[in-house]
Structure 1
Amino acid sequence: MKKILGILLILIIAALIFALIYFKGFGGFGKDSGEGKKNDTSASETVDKAEPTTEAGKDENAAEITVSGHDYLFNNEKLTLDALAVEIGKLDKETEITITSDDTAAKNTVDELTDKLDELGYKNYKKADK
């Protein structure tokens, strides 16, 4: 009889632990605890919500190219220099191009970009301050 009561007690305790975890009994652990149900204002969501406003307010005669390491970022895409040249070629020659480089940008990568812009006939570009 003691064995049956001991097994029954262990089963009840296991069921309680499972129920508490599954139904968020232990301080946020359990199902749906990692999906942000309580705090819907995370930084990434705030940025995503703000992007359409930024895109809509963009000047049609302006473009921004970001240089990060040895990569070129244009219109939220990572491009090679040749692919970037094709995209830039679609822009008007009077378009004001801003070149932004982060701390990891290689100097020769920025120089290659400015040489390519000169080669394509775009003289209206500037390097933004960090």
Structure 2
Amino acid sequence: MHDPNGRLLLVRRANEPGRGLWSVPGGRVEPGEDEPTAVVRELAEETGLTVRPGELAGVVVRGPYRIADYRCDLAPGSAVHPRAGDDAADARFVDLAGYAELPVVDGLTELLREWDALPRV
């Protein structure tokens, strides 16, 4: 998810795998949920933001996990400043220079580049 300025929303993982590294927010689809519903719930839990999921950005398989990432927009009336919660130790929007300084999970940069989802500024 990008903010109106083109910065990318990232969270610093509080738990394994990837504890201490930065990644896009996400998590498991709970029983009875579809993927868009899980996206809304996970972003609210990890960042405090309310989003509207859009098109599928891409899918990657890591071990036994199928990870689907969706492009999202802030929902009307949502907070605009992320706050870390749940499985996140920190949450923030980052520009391209800030992204380059962060330790990110393996393969994230390549996937974001492939999906045209790196910070735009």
Bucket of the pairwise TM-score, normalised by the shorter protein: under 0.3
Q: Comparing both structures, which one devotes a greater share of its residues to helix?
A: 1
- Please report the TM-score for the alignment, with normalisation by the length of structure 2: 0.27
- Please report the TM-score for the alignment, with normalisation by the length of structure 1: 0.25
Q: Comparing both structures, which one devotes a greater share of its residues to strand?
A: 2
Which structure has the higher relative contact order (CA within 8 Å, separation 6+)? 2
